[in-house]
Each structure stands twice: as structure tokens, then as C-alpha cells.
């Protein structure tokens, strides 16, 4: 099975560029996320961190409330 796939992949012209492009997309995404985290407002991060722990009512329908 691997020989079959390896043969067909190696027969595609300029296939060596695809792993490089994939790595660049992966690297740039996580680099962007790192920059966003380091530059983000600490108050916003604290607010988002405590959001699941807050006690609030959530309206499902206009006449129902879930606590």
C-alpha cells in the first residue's frame, strides 16, 4: 500500500512545495496567536477566564429563564 501511494505522490510534479507551504501556514498561525496573546488586554483575558464561573441567568425563550 505504501509503495503504491509513494509512487503516485512522487510522480506529481513540484510536490515538494506542499509540505513547505503547510509548515508556513502552521507556523504563521501559531506565531499570530502568540503575538495576539502577548499583546491582548489583561482585563479581557481575566474577564474571559472568569466567565464560566459567573452566576447569571440565561434566557432560552422570552418566557423561560434557566438558572
pLDDT by residue (tens digit) across 24-62?
999 999 999 999 999 999 998 888 888 887 776 665 565
Q: Whole-model pTM?
A: 0.53
Domain membership of residue 47 as a residue range: 2-66
Q: Is 43 left (phi over 0), alpha (psi -120 to 50) or beta?
A: alpha
**What are the DSSP E strand ranges found in 1-67?**
58-59, 65-66
Domain count, the chain: 1
What are the angstrom distances between the C-alpha of 43 and each of 53, 54, 56, 63? Answer: 16, 16, 20, 34
Average pLDDT over residues 2-25: 84
User: Can you tell me which residue has the cell 502568540?
Assistant: 34
Amino acid at each position: 500500500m505504501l509503495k503504491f501511494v509513494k509512487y503516485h505522490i512522487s510522480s506529481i510534479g513540484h510536490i515538494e512545495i506542499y509540505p513547505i507551504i503547510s509548515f508556513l501556514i502552521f507556523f504563521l498561525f501559531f506565531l499570530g496567536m502568540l503575538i495576539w496573546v502577548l499583546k491582548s488586554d489583561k482585563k479581557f483575558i481575566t474577564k474571559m477566564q472568569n466567565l464560566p464561573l459567573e452566576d447569571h441567568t440565561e434566557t432560552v425563550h422570552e418566557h423561560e429563564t434557566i438558572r
